[in-house]
Chains A and B, each alone.
Chain A
């Protein structure tokens, strides 16, 4: 079955630096990959989607890359701020099977002022 690994449970960085979060997957090659932000006790909020034929996607201070050879997506937040502190989830589709989106367990990012 598809397995998704997000590089670490928690990541601490200094304000103003670039945060880089990793999402690795095994087995199937997804057609697209999504990133979500989740604040404690709240529902995930959709941020970005990147398709398999796209190498990079940007939205304001966010950048996502998708390397199908490495089976990896990187999620970058540039000029990070304390307000960026949250858990970030990656999710990907399965070409076959009955679970349209599979979510990773998330990485908890803390931006320290």
Chain B
């Protein structure tokens, strides 16, 4: 089944403890992206990647890192999480950055930083 897989689904952590949210897609998509979704603010893009080894900042990149060493994986790293990073996170992928076939989203990771 074609899908984007995120792990974990739920995560509670403490301020300052480094964490990684994994994202993997099995569709050979070139384009991958991370979003966060907060009430009243909608989906906001954190980072995106046009292809392997090519990443760029979205609208809200502060406090996050990403890497794209392989086409299928695009992990999101929070080096020193803070409570304002408590949010619902989504990974998405598409055949191309234009997204003509639509973006495929993962099921989401609900992160709580205390």
Contacts and interface: CB of A to CB of B under 8 A. Distances in A.
Given A43-B105, A44-B105, A106-B42, A49 B100 contact: yes
A61 interface: no
Interface in B2-50: 4, 31, 33, 35, 40-43, 45, 48
Interface string B96-112: 01111111111110100
B40 A101 contact: no
Given A42-B108, A43-B108, A49-B102, A99 B45 contact: yes
B57 interface: yes
B99 A45 contact: no
Given A46-B104, A99-B58, A103-B42, 7 more contacts: A32-B98, A46-B101, A89-B43, A100-B98, A103-B35, A105-B41, A106-B42
A32 B90 contact: no
B40 A43 contact: no
Contacts of A110: none
A101 to B, nearest CB: 6
Residue among B56, B100, B107 with the most chain A CB within 10 A? B100
B88 A101 contact: no
A80 interface: no
B70 interface: no
B1 interface: no
A98 interface: yes
B59 interface: yes
Given A41-B110, A42-B107, A43-B107, A100 B42 contact: no
A73 interface: no
B43 A32 contact: no
Contacts of A65: none
A98 B56 contact: yes
